[in-house]
Copies of this chain bind each other. A is one copy, B any other.
């Protein structure tokens, strides 16, 4: 998701039922797996931007990202319908295109169908995929379906822009901003895991079940944005990637992180640390960006919140009541033991 450009080794995922790459394939974390592959595979000058962002940029300004999703890891049919699975996966893939500053054009769907799949399941899955495309004006333009032991989707999403918004580009003095609320989708997921029939109108449930890529917000904010990523592996991990790509220090003021009442209630009742929860919760698919100059507090219907700032230096820091601490929390990572 967030990190498809290069080897997103499964970004996102359900923290509650983590399914890591165990077995003989051991890497320190996703970024080191990515880096190892990247060193081995030569560039041959055919791609305008090939490595290190949410998506690749081909000649002519075509943006392309690929992502894999698996039952039990990236979605759960125990509390999602096939249609909802389609919508979630389409949003995750198309959100990476939006996070490059591009308008989505097409979605390509490779599907591995388990023996238990019925014809109406496949139809519902495609309806869900197409529902997100319809909202963005793009279309499903191709695919492949094979039989498999378990349900797996591999999506390729394309878009176009002559001027991609990259992770690198943040400069000291920029503010750090977030659209929507932090941790909303994970709050919704935990609610659904307890009660699969939970109302889809609940804002947290809705963000998990029917997330929408923030295309309008991106287009509205675009002139101000210096660096952009979408939140899929948790704000901590995604902000760290912005800091690393831009070679700057990013400071987050956790009391400014916007949250739903449902998220605060969840943390209070379950004894979770609110800051830790919202910094590591994945799958929100909000825009996390650095910007210079005034940024409006809303972009259409979507709230935009300043949650920190950019300084000279390195790394990711938390600042509360004037005291700083280095942030070592990470988002969800398939490869970390």
CA A22 to CA B47, docked complex, whole Å: 40
Q: Which residues from chain B contact A106 at a C-beta distance below 8 Å? A: 46-47, 50, 56, 58, 64
Other-chain contact of A139, B41, B116, B117 (Cβ < 8 Å):
B41
B56 touches A108 (CB 8 A): yes
A328 to chain B, nearest CB (A): 25
Q: Which residues from chain B contact A158 at a C-beta distance below 8 Å? A: 58, 62, 64
Q: Interface 1/0s, chain A 1-21, versus B by CB < 8 A?
A: 000111111110000000111
Other-chain contact of A68, B21, B51, B145 (Cβ < 8 Å):
B145
Known A-B contacts A25-B117, A58-B106; A139 and B40 likewise in contact (beta carbons under 8 Å)? no
A118 touches B24 (CB 8 A): yes
CA A40 to CA B129, docked complex, whole Å: 12
Question: Is A37 an interface residue when CB atoms closer than 8 A count as contact?
Answer: yes
CA A121 to CA B25, docked complex, whole Å: 9
Report, as a range, how many residues of chain A touch the other chain.
Answer: 35 or more
Question: Is A80 an interface residue when CB atoms closer than 8 A count as contact?
Answer: no
When C-beta atoms are compared, the residue in chain B nearest to A53 turns out to be B142
CA A148 to CA B153, docked complex, whole Å: 12
B62 touches A145 (CB 8 A): no
B105 touches A147 (CB 8 A): no
A33 touches B110 (CB 8 A): no
B74 touches A113 (CB 8 A): no
Q: Interface 1/0s, chain A 86-114, versus B by CB < 8 A?
A: 00000000000000000001101111111
Known A-B contacts A24-B117, A106-B56; A146 and B44 likewise in contact (beta carbons under 8 Å)? no
Other-chain contact of A23, B111, B117, B139 (Cβ < 8 Å):
B117
B147 touches A22 (CB 8 A): yes
Question: Is A285 an interface residue when CB atoms closer than 8 A count as contact?
Answer: no
A42 touches B146 (CB 8 A): no
When C-beta atoms are compared, the residue in chain B nearest to A119 turns out to be B25
Question: Is A73 an interface residue when CB atoms closer than 8 A count as contact?
Answer: yes
Which of A130-138, A186-194, A206-214, A316-324 sits within the interface? A130-138
A66 touches B156 (CB 8 A): yes
Known A-B contacts A144-B4, A145-B33; A113 and B25 likewise in contact (beta carbons under 8 Å)? yes
Other-chain contact of A144, B9, B24, B123, B142 (Cβ < 8 Å):
B9
Q: Which residues from chain B contact A152 at a C-beta distance below 8 Å? A: 112, 146, 148, 152
Known A-B contacts A118-B23, A119-B24; A105 and B145 likewise in contact (beta carbons under 8 Å)? no
B68 touches A139 (CB 8 A): no
Question: Is A143 an interface residue when CB atoms closer than 8 A count as contact?
Answer: yes
A53 to chain B, nearest CB (A): 9
Known A-B contacts A46-B139, A64-B158; A144 and B7 likewise in contact (beta carbons under 8 Å)? yes
Identify the A interface with B (CB < 8 A).
Answer: 4-11, 19-27, 33, 37, 40-44, 46-47, 50-51, 55-56, 58-62, 64-70, 73-74, 105-106, 108-119, 121-123, 126-127, 130, 133-134, 137-150, 152, 154, 156, 158, 160, 334
Other 6 A-B pairs with CB < 8 A, given A8-B143, A24-B118, A44-B134: A9-B146, A21-B147, A25-B117, A46-B105, A47-B139, A56-B106
